[in-house]
A = this chain, B = another copy of it.
Amino acid sequence: MQDVSLAIKNKGLRATPQRIAIYEALLPRKDHPSVEMLYNEIRSRFPSISLNTVYATLESLWHAELIQRLDVGDGRIRYDGNPRMHAHVVCTSCLRVDDLPQPSENTMLNLMRTAADVSQYRIDAGKLLFYGQCKACSADENATP
């Protein structure tokens, strides 16, 4: 509760009711919701909120490095309440996105360093995505061929 408000203020942002609500809605979720998914959830408690505010707020939280922006290539951007670098898997059937515990953050940081060495770029961020089919979709496909 107050943690959320404090975390926002600590980044130099105003802890408005809308921002607190959006951040609090995102944090417990593990399904990497899109803007519209969050918008629909927030609207039940915040009927007057605009879609635009959700866009702007998520961008602010992202710039403040409180959350992660995740473009998996399905046309809509997903958000992740965990700002630490980690890999993701995308189900190309149902488009769900899951976190991956492997490779570790250290391994990814090592990949980044290697990339910086060989490319001569200054590298700020990395993204590791896998695409395939989740267990549920594989089962469905076998059930109805």
Contact = CB atoms under 8 A, between A and B. Distances in A.
Interface of A: 71, 73, 87, 89, 91-92, 98, 100-103, 111-112, 114-116, 118-135, 138
Contacts of A103: 111, 114
A78 to B, nearest CB: 12
Contact of A122 (B73, B114, B126, B138): B138
A116 B138 CA distance: 13
Contact of A133 (B92, B122, B130, B134): B122
A75 to B, nearest CB: 10
B122 A100 contact: no
A120 B92 contact: no
A105 to B, nearest CB: 14
A91 to B, nearest CB: 7
Given A118-B101, A118-B102, A119-B98, A112 B125 contact: no
